[in-house]
Amino acid sequence: MTAARPSQNGPDTRAFARASIFHMVAPVTTLAGEHVPTADQRLVSYAVPWSHYEAQLALRGDAPVPRIAFLEGALELMSPSKEHERIKSYIGCLVEAYALERGIDLSPYGAWTLKSPPKQSGLEPDECYLVGDQDRPTPDLAIEVVWTSGGIDKLEIYKRLGVGEVWFWKASRIEVHVLRQDRYERSDRSSLFPDLDLELLCSFLDRPTALQAVKAFREAVRL
């Protein structure tokens, strides 16, 4: 993908893309009692064409932020907080530690940009994985940390993109959503890792370092 080039006979599309964000944007409302200094920074714009979403991706390039999501004309720009990034990284480390202990073939693909113009949907997971076959066009598992309320419907985007399983971490718990017959169903356990105790995994997310969390978790799953 290449960044939009300014036209010699018209306005600079890059300048338009930057400016239009401020004209169409609506800040996400934080509910009373939910504001914390470490909250994610999120802006949502409406009535945005797909070409504008593609332009925003091109303008950002390889930078890690903002994370960009799109659903039927709604465009979300999100800069995750330090704690958001810590939690998603810890979860990823623990999933990979579990796979190592159980001999499960998987590979992490981080914030892989997933998008479909015909379905008017696109996003970048906090973490995602392919399990087994590495040639599939979408991940088997996507992980999202819900640290600050609001934003567009990520689960609807994942459904349109055909991601088989999505985990949402929220308030120290992981909710599992498994795609069955074109809709997600809540599940107590992962369909990919049916023996993984997610409550146990979450109990190690408060460790001071990722190394301490992984060592303690590996000891626990060996019991």
Domain that holds residue 168: 82-221
Residue that the structure tokens 């797909």 belong to = 50
Lowest mean pLDDT among 25-29, 114-118, 132-136: 25-29
Same domain, 74 and 87: no
- The pLDDT of residue 37 is 54
> Mean pLDDT across the chain, nearest whole number?
87
Lowest pLDDT segment from 6-20, 32-46, 53-67, 121-135? 6-20
Tell whether the model's pLDDT for residue 142 goes beyond 70. yes
User: Is the domain of 198 the same as that of 103?
Assistant: yes
- Same-domain status, 29 and 136: no
What is the percent of the chain with per-residue pLDDT over 90, rounded to a whole number? 80
One domain, residues 75 and 88: no
Domain annotation covers residue 138: yes
Cα 80 to Cα 82: distance, rounded to the nearest angstrom? 7
Determine the Cα–Cα distance for residues 107 and 51; give it in Å rounded to an integer: 31
Q: What is the pLDDT of residue 36?
A: 53
Q: Which of 89, 87, 90, 84 is nearest to 213 (CA)?
A: 90
Say whether both 38 and 121 belong to one domain: no
**At residue 35, does pLDDT exceed 60?**
no
What's the predicted TM-score (pTM) here? 0.83
Domain membership flag for residue 67: yes
Number of other residues whose CB lies within 10 A of the CB of residue 218? 15
Domain boundary among 55, 79, 103: 79
**Domain harbouring 114, CATH code:** 3.90.1570
Domain total of the chain: 2
Q: Do 55 and 95 fall into the same domain?
A: no
CA distance 113 to 201: 26
